[in-house]
Amino acid sequence: MTESFIKTTDGVDIFYKDWGPKDAQPIVLHHGWPLSSDDWDNQMLFFLANGYRVVAHDRRGHGRSQQVSEGHDMDHYAADASAVYEHLNLKNAVHIGHSTGGGEVARYVAKFGQPQGRVAKAVLVSAVPPIMVKTASNPGGLPIEVFDGLRKALADNRAQFYLDLPTGPFYGFNRPGAKISQGVIQNWWRQGMIGGAKAHYEGIKAFSETDQTEDLKTITVPVLVMHGDDDQIVPIDDAGRLSVKLVRNGTLKVYPGYPHGMLTTHADVINPDLLAFVKE
């Protein structure tokens, strides 16, 4: 097993994990906001057990990566990710992104992965593309006031905010009959609080206002779009259902009643579906 850091061209230390046989096909995992590569523990162990190489990094300002002041935008996210994969010389990789990580995957594949010939397939899970905020060209988006509210909650009391989100809508624990896991809530809080407040604050703009329509149109590799229809964080109609129409070779798989954090709450269903797509 390898856990290490690389330094980007603008001098930022990015933490990454690289586990499994180096000659195996790489499964590359991109985490959501405001978490870290630890959010992929279940999937990393699953793919390791199935003989794959698994790679995941902490986004700048998140997890164990450096808490820098600048560069908290989708372009830097994708460039940082690319720096890790170029360092490891990954090829024929399957890139899987959750939420903000799905935006990172779209930008990375379009700008770096495909031109460099490193990507075999991509998966967008509960992902933010094409754009979350409501605009004239995206009338089904969420009002900017929603994201202003997130910024205010973070600035006012980040520690409490990072308990409220996983306790409520992120995992659907606010739904009647939900099976609540205190460990999952505390692990979300732990990951969030390790990261930097400035990176997380500015990351809200990155995941909500970045228009990734052109990124999606550029992607030619097979893309699996996975989304729960009870996603309270990234509603499916303005995300997954639109994204699959923009990519050239996409498949949408809808999970009835599943929440935003379905990779954790329903890993027993999601993981085999991911594996089936990888093997296609």
- Model confidence pLDDT, tens digit, residues 139-149: 999 999 999 99
DSSP three-state, residue 273 = helix
pLDDT for 1 beyond 70: no
Beta bridge partners of 17: 3, 56
Q: Single out the catalytic residue among 37, 65, 82, 99.
A: 99
Amino acid occupying residue 120: A
Q: Single out the catalytic residue among 231, 238, 243, 266.
A: 231
pLDDT tens column, 4-46: 999 999 999 999 999 999 999 999 999 999 999 999 999 999 9
Give the end-to-end CA distance of the chain in Å, rounded to a whole number: 27
Give the closest residue to 122 by CA, choosing from 31, 224, 245.
224
Known catalytic residue: 69?
A: no
* 60 contacts: CB under 8 Å, gap ≥ 6: 8, 12, 14, 66, 68, 71, 72, 76, 77, 80, 199
Cα–Cα distance measured from residue 96 to residue 16, given in angstroms and rounded to the nearest whole number: 15
Q: Single out the catalytic residue among 200, 227, 260, 266.
A: 260
pLDDT for 130 beyond 70: yes
Instruction: Give the CA distances from residue 163 to residues 140, 173, 174, in Å, rounded to whole numbers and listed in that order.
Output: 28, 12, 13
Known catalytic residue: 99?
A: yes
Dihedral pair phi/psi, residue 75, rounded to 5°: -65, -45
pLDDT tens column, 60-83: 999 999 999 999 999 999 999 999
Mean pLDDT, the chain, integer: 97
pLDDT for 193 beyond 80: yes
Confidence band for 3, pLDDT divided at 50, 70 and 90: low
> What is the predicted pLDDT for the residue at 174?
98
pTM of the model: 0.97
